């Protein structure tokens, strides 16, 4: 009776470490191109090296970490092909879902969206707080359409996209422009102008491409170039 519990605890610990490391990569705490030391990460997290190694293997499967024999493990640089693929998936899901928003949307969910927008306006320059609210806004829109269960699929596919979005938010003078776009989307949904909602949503989701081109021109070291090229061990600055 004891062994299954131990195995369960081991699996749980492995998952926690993986999710912790994934969050550090997505929030840019572990920066694109940064070298990764199992020993240092284990010390920082207060665990043995085994769950860290297993977490890095899972992150490599996600495309967020690269392992180069005889060189080491590195946070993957932002891959524009993966960004584009994730954006394609996100548009396909979120724009199609808008077509299924009922003429009389759930009043409770509309209230949640209004409260979310109010919180976005008061988030100030806190990038992580705004990003969390942004995610919740889009998730709630899917709930409004009855397609909430599609959200985990979108989330799992957009690691590189989320890093690009965060880079854009850090480069932006204020996230207010994105909050204003959310207001426009919700107003179109509220008036059941789904064509306008789709057009506005498409423009909103594609803002990331302009952000990326601007950032890549200034900081190309954050982005993947030739596939499989081994990185150089050096500190990478995400923003100044």
Cβ atoms of residues 181 and 135 within 8 Å: no
- With a pLDDT cut of 70, the percent of the chain lying above it is 88
CATH code of the domain covering residue 45: 1.10.10.10
Report the predicted TM-score, pTM, of the whole model to 2 decimal places: 0.86
Q: So what's the pLDDT on residue 132?
A: 96
User: Within this chain, do residues 208 and 95 fall inside the same structural domain, yes or no?
Assistant: yes
DSSP state string for 124-176: TT-HHHHHHHHHHHHHHHHHHHT-GGGHHHHHHH-HHHHHHHHHHHHHSS-TH
Check pLDDT > 50 for residue 2.
no
- The structure tokens 């070298």 sit at 35
Domain contains 204: yes
* 123-131 long-range contacts, CB within 8 A, separation 24+: 123/175, 123/179, 125/174, 125/175, 127/166, 127/169, 127/170, 127/175, 128/27, 130/169, 130/175, 130/178, 130/179, 131/162, 131/165, 131/166, 131/169
Average pLDDT for the chain:
89
User: Within this chain, do residues 87 and 205 fall inside the same structural domain, yes or no?
Assistant: yes
User: Within this chain, do residues 146 and 167 fall inside the same structural domain, yes or no?
Assistant: yes
CATH code of the domain covering residue 149: 1.20.120.530
User: Within this chain, do residues 128 and 179 fall inside the same structural domain, yes or no?
Assistant: yes
Domain contains 236: no
User: Within this chain, do residues 22 and 71 fall inside the same structural domain, yes or no?
Assistant: yes
Domain contains 240: no
User: Within this chain, do residues 47 and 166 fall inside the same structural domain, yes or no?
Assistant: no
Domain contains 232: no
Q: What is the mean pLDDT of residues 19-40?
A: 96
Domain boundary among 56, 77, 98: 77
Q: How far apart are CA 153 and CA 233, in angstroms?
A: 33
Domain contains 106: yes
Q: How far apart are CA 157 and CA 44, in angstroms?
A: 27
pLDDT digits (tens, 9 = 90+) for 144-174: 999 999 999 999 999 999 999 999 998 877 7
pLDDT digits (tens, 9 = 90+) for 175-222: 889 999 999 999 999 999 999 999 999 999 999 999 999 999 999 999
Domain boundary among 62, 77, 92: 77
Domain hosting 195: range is 80-218
Q: Indicate the number of domains in the chain.
A: 2
Q: So what's the pLDDT on residue 102?
A: 95
């Amino acid at each position: 009776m004891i062994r299954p519990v131990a195995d369960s605890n081991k699996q749980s610990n492995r998952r926690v470490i993986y999710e912790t490391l994934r969050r550090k990569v997505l929030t840019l705490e572990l920066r694109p191109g940064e070298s990764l030391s199992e020993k240092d990460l284990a010390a920082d997290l207060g665990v043995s090296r085994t769950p860290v190694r297993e977490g890095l293997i899972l992150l490599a499967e996600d495309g967020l970490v690269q392992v180069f024999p005889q060189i080491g493990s590195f946070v993957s640089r932002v891959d524009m092909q993966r960004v584009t693929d994730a954006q394609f998936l996100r548009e396909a899901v979120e724009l199609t879902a808008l077509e299924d928003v009922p003429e009389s949307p759930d009043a409770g969910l509309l209230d949640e969206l209004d409260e979310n927008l109010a919180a976005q306006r008061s988030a100030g320059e806190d990038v992580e707080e705004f990003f969390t609210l942004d995610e919740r806004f889009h998730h709630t829109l899917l709930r409004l359409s009855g397609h909430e269960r599609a959200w985990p699929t979108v989330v799992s596919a957009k690691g590189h996209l989320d890093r690009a979005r965060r880079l854009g938010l850090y480069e932006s003078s204020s996230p207010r422009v994105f909050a204003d776009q959310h207001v426009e989307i919700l107003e179109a949904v509220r008036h059941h102008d789904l064509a306008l909602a789709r057009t506005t949503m498409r423009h909103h989701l594609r803002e990331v491409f302009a952000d990326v081109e601007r950032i890549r021109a200034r900081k190309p070291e954050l982005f993947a170039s030739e596939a499989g090229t081994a990185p150089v061990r050096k500190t990478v600055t995400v923003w100044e």
